[in-house]
C-alpha cells in the first residue's frame, strides 16, 4: 500500500450482474489508461460473483480489486461465507470489513470486525475497516466518542500499519447529505490521533463528483469510499480525476 497515493474505492454493494459490471469496470479501465492517474490507487469492490472475471479481464489495468466482507476463519463449515484467502485467490488486495450495512443487517459488532480484519491481514489483504456514528449519536454530540469506541473494538492489535480506516457517518450513507468540511477533517484528525501507526483514513458517505474535490482536499482525508456514485462509471471517473487533482 502506497501511503502517498489517494485511495479511491468503489463499493458496488449488491448491484450488478456480469454484463453491466464488466462494462462499468472496462469504462473505468479505459478512463485510467487515457491519463496520468499515477497519484491515485483505484479499487473496485464488486459482488464476489464478478471478482474472477474482472481479475482476468482487467489484467493490465491499474485497478485493484477488493471484497465487501470476509469470514474471520480461513475455511470451514460456514455456508454462504467467503474467507479472506478466497478473496485473495480471486484477485483481491483489499477487503471492506465492518461496513455499517453489515453491522446493521448481520448484527456484526466490533469484536467480530476485529477478527475479520485480522483474518484479512493473515491472508495478505488490506482490510478497510469502516467506522461511523449514527445520526442519533451525532445529534447527541457523541460522534467522536462513538467512533473512538468502534475503533477501539474493531482495530486489530497487530499489523495496524497495514490497515486502512474508512470514516463513514451512517446518516450520510446513501442520503446525499455530507458532513460539513470541518466535521470531516475534525473526525479524520481525531482518528489519526488515536492510531499511533500511519494509516490511510478514507471518507465515505454520499461522495459524488460535485463534492469529491472539496472532500479530497481536506486535511487528513487520504481517499474516499464511494457507494452509489461508483455504479455510474462517468461519475466514478470524475471522482478519480478529483483525487488526482487533489494529490
Positions marked catalytic: 99, 168
Give the span between the Cα atoms of 65 and 176, in whole angstroms: 26
Pick out residues in 90-119 that bind ligand PGA (CB under 6 A).
none
Q: Smallest gap, in angstroms, from Cβ of residue 223 to ligand PGA?
A: 12
Q: Smallest gap, in angstroms, from Cβ of residue 13 to ligand PGA?
A: 7
Segment interacting with ligand PGA (CB under 6 A) among 25-33, 59-67, 80-88, 167-175: 167-175
Q: Find the binder of ligand PGA among 120, 164, 173, 184 (CB under 6 A).
A: 173
Nearer to ligand PGA, 91 or 223 (CB): 223
Give the span between the Cα atoms of 186 and 68, in whole angstroms: 27
CA 47 to chain centre: 14
Sign, Cα dihedral of 23, 40, 47, 232: negative
Q: Where are the beta strands (DSSP E) in the chain?
A: 6-11, 40-45, 63-67, 92-97, 126-131, 164-167, 200-204, 223-226
Contact letters (x/-) for ligand PGA, 11-50, by CB under 6 A? x---------------------------------------
CA atoms within 13 A on the CB side of 184: 28
Q: Smallest gap, in angstroms, from Cβ of residue 236 to ligand PGA?
A: 10
Residue 226 lies near ligand PGA (rule: CB under 6 A): yes
Q: Find the binder of ligand PGA among 225, 233, 237, 239 (CB under 6 A).
A: 225
Nearer to ligand PGA, 54 or 131 (CB): 131
Give the cell for residue 5: 497515493
Segment interacting with ligand PGA (CB under 6 A) among 20-28, 82-90, 153-161, 198-206: 198-206
Backbone angles phi, psi at 211, to 5 degrees: -115, -5
Give the cell for residue 184: 470531516
Burial of 208 (0-12, 13-18, 19+ CB in 10 A): middle
Q: Smallest gap, in angstroms, from Cβ of residue 208 to ligand PGA?
A: 8
Positions that interact with ligand PGA (CB under 6 A): 11, 168, 173-174, 204-207, 225-229
Amino acid at each position: 500500500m502506497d501511503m502517498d497515493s489517494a485511495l479511491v474505492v468503489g463499493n458496488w454493494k449488491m448491484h450488478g450482474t456480469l454484463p453491466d459490471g464488466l462494462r462499468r469496470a472496462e469504462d473505468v479501465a479505459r478512463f485510467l489508461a487515457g491519463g496520468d492517474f499515477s497519484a491515485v490507487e483505484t479499487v473496485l469492490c464488486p459482488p464476489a460473483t464478478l471478482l474472477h472475471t474482472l481479475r482476468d479481464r482487467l489484467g493490465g489495468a491499474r485497478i485493484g480489486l477488493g471484497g465487501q466482507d470476509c469470514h474471520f476463519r480461513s475455511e470451514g463449515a460456514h455456508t454462504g461465507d467467503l474467507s479472506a484467502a478466497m478473496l485473495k485467490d480471486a484477485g483481491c488486495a483489499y477487503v471492506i470489513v465492518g461496513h455499517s450495512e453489515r453491522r446493521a443487517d448481520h448484527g456484526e459488532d466490533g469484536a467480530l470486525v476485529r477478527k475479520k480484519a485480522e483474518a484479512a491481514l493473515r491472508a495478505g489483504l488490506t482490510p478497510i475497516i469502516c467506522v461511523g456514528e449514527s445520526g442519533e449519536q451525532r445529534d447527541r454530540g457523541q460522534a467522536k466518542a462513538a467512533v473512538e469506541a468502534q475503533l477501539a473494538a474493531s482495530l486489530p492489535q497487530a499489523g495496524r500499519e497495514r490497515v486502512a480506516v474508512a470514516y463513514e457517518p451512517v446518516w450520510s450513507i446513501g442520503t446525499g447529505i455530507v458532513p460539513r468540511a470541518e466535521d470531516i477533517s475534525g473526525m479524520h484528525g481525531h482518528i489519526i490521533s488515536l492510531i499511533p501507526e500511519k494509516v490511510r483514513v478514507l471518507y465515505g458517505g454520499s461522495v459524488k463528483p460535485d463534492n469529491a474535490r472539496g472532500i479530497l482536499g481536506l486535511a487528513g482525508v487520504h481517499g474516499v469510499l464511494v457507494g452509489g456514485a461508483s455504479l455510474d462509471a462517468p461519475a466514478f471517473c470524475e471522482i478519480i480525476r478529483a483525487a488526482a487533482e487533489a494529490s
